[in-house]
């Protein structure tokens, strides 16, 4: 009886959204910016079941609530980032050591092969995120890997970090952005206790 009640509640919450957006799967399953379902068998994203947001900070816009979509590029990935790296930070050592770029590039569009563009050109062409940070999957989406160290909120053991555009951000700002996205996702499922 309890399970049936939860199913009715989820259906009631999900149906209007699915109706507006045309496909209920797009509300429940992660979908990249090109409309591909992450992890769908028989597609190029079959082995990439997790959604990655290029700029989680842009997800705090009120339009996110209306469209149920964050206004940033989203790609399907096989795993979430495990460390901090910036696009600019991978450019300079690229000629001598391609290791950082090889790792970073898995979070870029597949058509972007080398970090040869300027930062502004790369941002304009929307090829890669400007920064990646330690994350973990939640509802098949990469969310920052937050923790508390001596009572202070951190992401990847840092309280502040470079955003890849020349500004410093902090874990509290990132948490606010992640929490906003999480609430929107969870509202579709009717189970807000999962939010960060």
Q: Provide the pLDDT for residue 114.
A: 86
- Specify the pTM: 0.79
Q: Residue 57 in contact with residue 173, Cβ under 8 Å? A: yes
How far is the C-alpha of 44 from the C-alpha of 154, rounded, in Å?
35
Mean pLDDT throughout 131-141? 93
List the chain domain ranges: 23-188
How far is the C-alpha of 67 from the C-alpha of 85, rounded, in Å?
30
Q: Provide the pLDDT for residue 18.
A: 45
How far is the C-alpha of 111 from the C-alpha of 101, rounded, in Å?
14
Q: Provide the pLDDT for residue 47.
A: 95
- Is pLDDT above 90 for 11? no
Mean pLDDT throughout 99-105? 93
Average pLDDT, the chain: 81
Helix or strand (DSSP H, E) at 2: helix 2-21
**Residues 181, 64, 44: CA angle, nearest 5 degrees:** 75
Residue 13's pLDDT band, with cuts at 50, 70 and 90, is very low
Residue 180's pLDDT band, with cuts at 50, 70 and 90, is confident
Q: Which residues does residue 144 pair with via DSSP β-bridges, in sequence order?
A: 135
pLDDT tens, 21-79?
A: 556 666 667 889 998 999 999 988 999 999 999 998 887 766 665 556 678 999 999 99
Q: Provide the pLDDT for residue 183.
A: 72
């Amino acid at each position: 009886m309890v399970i049936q009640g939860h199913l009715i509640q989820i259906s009631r919450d999900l149906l209007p959204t699915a109706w507006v957006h045309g496909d209920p799967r797009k509300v429940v399953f992660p979908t990249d910016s090109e409309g591909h379902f992450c992890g769908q068998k028989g597609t190029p994203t079959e082995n990439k079941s997790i959604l990655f947001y290029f700029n989680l900070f842009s997800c705090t816009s009120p339009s996110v609530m209306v469209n149920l979509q964050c206004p940033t590029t989203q790609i399907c990935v096989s795993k979430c980032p495990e460390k901090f790296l910036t696009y600019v930070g991978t450019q300079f050592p690229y000629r001598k050591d391609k290791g950082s770029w090889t790792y970073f590039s898995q979070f870029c569009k597949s058509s972007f092969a080398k970090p040869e563009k300027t930062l502004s050109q790369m941002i304009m062409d929307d090829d890669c995120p400007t920064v990646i940070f330690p994350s973990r999957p939640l509802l098949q989406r990469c969310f920052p890997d937050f923790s508390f160290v001596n009572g202070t909120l951190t992401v990847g053991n840092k309280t502040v970090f470079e955003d890849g555009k020349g500004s410093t951000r902090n874990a509290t700002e990132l948490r606010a952005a992640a929490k906003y996205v999480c609430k929107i996702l969870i509202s579709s499922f009717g189970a807000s206790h999962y939010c960060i």
